[in-house]
Homo-oligomer: A and B are copies of this chain.
Amino acid sequence: LAGLTIAIDAMGGEHAPAMVIRGLDIAHTRHPEAKFLLFGDQSRIRPILDRHKKIKDVCEVRHTDVAVSDHDKPSIALRSARQSSMRLAIEAVDKGEAGGVVSAGNTGALMAMAKIVLKTLPGIDRPAIASIVPTKRGESVMLDLGANIQCDANNLFQFAILGEVFARTVLGLKKPRVGLLNVGEEDMKGHEVLRDASALLRAPDLQILFEGFIEGDDVWEGTVDVAVTDGFTGNVALKTAEGLARLYAGMLRSAFQSSTLAKLGYLLARPAIRGAITGRCFLA
Q: Copy number of this protein in the oligomer?
A: 2
A 122-161 to B, binary, CB cutoff 8 A, 1 in contact else 0 = 0000000000001110000000001001100000000000
Contact B273 A252 (CB under 8 A): yes
Contact B241 A243 (CB under 8 A): yes
Contact B268 A232 (CB under 8 A): no
Contact A261 B255 (CB under 8 A): no
- How far does the alpha carbon of A156 sit from the alpha carbon of B259 in the complex, in Å? 44
Contact B269 A262 (CB under 8 A): yes
A242 within 8 Å of B (CB atoms): yes
- How far does the alpha carbon of A221 sit from the alpha carbon of B243 in the complex, in Å? 8
- The minimal Cβ–Cβ distance linking A70 to chain B, given in whole angstroms, is 12
Nearest-CB residue, chain B, relative to A281: B251
When distances are taken between beta carbons in the complex, the residues of chain B under 8 Å from A239 are 215-217
Interface residues of A in 248-271 (CB under 8 A from B): 248-252, 255-256, 258-259, 261-262, 264-271
Contact A244 B220 (CB under 8 A): yes
- How far does the alpha carbon of A216 sit from the alpha carbon of B231 in the complex, in Å? 13
Q: Tell me which of A220, A245, A259, A264 has the highest count of chain B C-beta atoms within 10 A of its own C-beta.
A: A220
With A217-B243, A244-B220, A244-B241 known as contacts, the answer to whether A276 contacts B255 (CB < 8 A) is yes
A240 within 8 Å of B (CB atoms): yes
With A183-B146, A236-B183 known as contacts, the answer to whether A265 contacts B269 (CB < 8 A) is yes
Contact B271 A231 (CB under 8 A): no
A219 within 8 Å of B (CB atoms): yes
- How far does the alpha carbon of A256 sit from the alpha carbon of B265 in the complex, in Å? 10
- How far does the alpha carbon of A281 sit from the alpha carbon of B268 in the complex, in Å? 24
28 residue pairs from A and B, CB less than 8 Å apart: A146-B183, A181-B236, A215-B239, A216-B237, A216-B238, A216-B241, A217-B240, A217-B242, A219-B240, A220-B246, A233-B236, A233-B237, A237-B240, A240-B240, A242-B244, A247-B282, A255-B273, A258-B272, A259-B272, A262-B269, A262-B272, A262-B273, A264-B269, A265-B268, A265-B269, A265-B272, A268-B268, A269-B269
A99 within 8 Å of B (CB atoms): no
When distances are taken between beta carbons in the complex, the residues of chain B under 8 Å from A136 are 247, 250
